[in-house]
């Protein structure tokens, strides 16, 4: 946390945030996925900055509701949720992404971003099977694996679906449009 005592501010991301958001997103991938995904594939993904910035600008215009956490002018985390893409679950909400910089792991920022993105709503998410840290965090928030698995073509790893039911509080308004895969 770089020794600072102030708490990051969580706010909606806007198109002007695309570049710092991408730098945070890529840094989070590097910090979380090193040793988990093929190093060459990770290197290629991390080198694609300009295209990712344009993709995020488009996402932030077309699919508002993405959140970022900002500390002293630096984006240190992000979250994205929206309509569930797995219709067979009968759930309204899916957590598409939740990333925080390694310096903020264990600080409660992930919890705050999760709460801001989906509240206590019933929801699902996909997480790398090998990402034990993220899986433990989601388990603490009521998510359990439901047995579904898929191969992530982008990173080349196996993902499992985790589902949370019975929390009872409605989700924040996540919009009526689905986000593109990989957002």
Chain centroid, CA 61 distance in Å: 18
Number of residues that make up the chain:
183
CA distances from 132 to 55, 90, 160 (A): 29, 27, 11
35-73: pLDDT as tens digits: 999 999 999 888 989 999 999 999 999 988 899 999 999
- Predicted TM-score (pTM) of the model is 0.86
78-126: pLDDT as tens digits: 999 999 999 999 999 999 999 999 999 999 999 999 999 999 999 999 9
Spell out the domains of the chain, with CATH numbers in brackets.
9-83+91-164 (3.40.630.30)
Q: E strand or H helix at 150, and its extent?
A: strand 144-152
List the 74-83 sheet strands across, edge first: 9-12, 67-71, 74-83, 93-100, 123-128, 157-164, 144-152
């Amino acid at each position: 946390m770089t020794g600072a005592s102030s708490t990051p501010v969580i706010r909606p991301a806007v198109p002007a945030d695309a570049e710092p958001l991408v730098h945070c997103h890529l840094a989070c991938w590097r910090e979380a996925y090193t040793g988990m995904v093929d190093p060459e594939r990770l290197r290629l993904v991390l080198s694609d900055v300009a295209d990712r910035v344009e993709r995020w600008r488009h996402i932030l215009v077309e699919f508002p509701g993405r959140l970022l956490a900002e500390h002293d002018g630096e984006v240190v985390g992000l979250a994205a949720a929206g309509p569930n893409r797995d219709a067979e679950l009968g759930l309204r909400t899916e957590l598409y992404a939740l990333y925080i910089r390694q310096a903020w792991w264990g600080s409660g920022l992930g919890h705050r971003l999760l709460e801001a993105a989906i509240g206590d709503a019933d929801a699902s998410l996909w997480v790398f099977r090998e990402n034990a840290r993220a899986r433990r965090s989601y388990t603490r928030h009521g998510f359990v694996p439901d047995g579904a698995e898929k191969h992530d073509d982008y990173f080349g790893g196996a993902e499992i679906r985790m589902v949370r039911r019975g929390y009872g509080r409605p989700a924040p308004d996540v919009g009526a449009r689905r986000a593109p895969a990989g957002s």
